[in-house]
Amino acid sequence: MNEARREMEYFDGPGGMFARAMPWRAKPTIETPRVRIGGDVGVDDDGSVVVFDFESMGDAAFETSFNALNDVVMGGASDATVVKTRDGFARLAGTTEDVRGGFASVKCRDFATPLDLSAFDGVKVTCRGDGKTYKAILYDTDDSFNVAFHQTFVCPKDELGEVRLAFKDFVPVKRGRAVAPNDAEYRRTNGGTIIAFQFMLSKFAYGMEEKNQGYAPGPFEIEIKRVEAYKK
């Protein structure tokens, strides 16, 4: 219970999810990453631009921007922590159980203003780990119970690798269920109004209707070096 409260208050402020009913209590936010196509801010050799670079991010900035968000907030018992390693990775590691829960994740606090990546085709994640199937989640509102956009990817095992996730392939999901195209809440993302990023290991792929075939309960580890926006 203490860990669940700590995680919820990190993202929602004092009172956790109940703080939403207290409009005078501002939700904690972080500065929106500065990226622009064709500019000189974090431009990579292939034209990608850096959203997060954990090697250059200071420890204090990391601690006020990223935290674990695990199934303990929903009554589960998975145990995972996120740290910034000395060699410049965001490392999410621990154990998951899938009887009462089934997920562990690292999430950033909401951006102060939406991040516009609509000039790009998707996000590129430089990472390494255990070869399990994780998913990236993009939020376009500050309500974690609203529609968010999920896409699974296989974490490169042991060696550092790049994973490209096109915006067109993200799937809308709400409260653990994929949103059907004929649903009034159905929408896709072009990366134009990103409020937060999350990276998760879950027993589900796109909602509770579909099991993640690349998941198994027990120990896991993923290390993320950079998150970038890319163009084809």
pLDDT in tens, 126-184: 999 999 999 999 999 998 889 999 999 999 999 999 999 999 999 999 999 999 999 99
Lowest average pLDDT, out of 6-15, 17-26, 132-141, goes to: 17-26
Residue 137 region by backbone torsions, left for phi larger than 0, else alpha for psi between -120 and 50, else beta: beta
> Domains (ranges, CATH) in the chain?
29-230 (2.60.120.430)
At residue 117 the predicted structure's pLDDT band, cuts being 50, 70 and 90, is very high
Task: Give kind and range of the element (H or E) at residue 71.
Answer: none
Beta carbons of 53 and 126 less than 8 angstroms apart: no
pTM of the predicted model as reported, rounded to 2 decimal places: 0.93
C-alpha distances in Å from residue 129, one per residue of 4, 28, 55, 61, 224:
26, 30, 17, 24, 9
Residues paired with residue 122 on neighbouring β-strands, in sequence order:
166, 230
C-alpha distances in Å from residue 78, one per residue of 102, 127, 217:
7, 22, 9
Ranges of beta strands (E only) in the chain are 29-30, 49-53, 66-68, 79-84, 90-96, 103-108, 110-111, 122-129, 133-139, 148-154, 161-166, 171-174, 177-178, 196-202, 218-230
Q: What is the pLDDT of residue 113?
A: 97
Closest by CA to 232, choosing from 168, 169, 166, is 166
- Helix, strand or coil, per DSSP, at residue 80: strand
Average pLDDT, the chain: 92
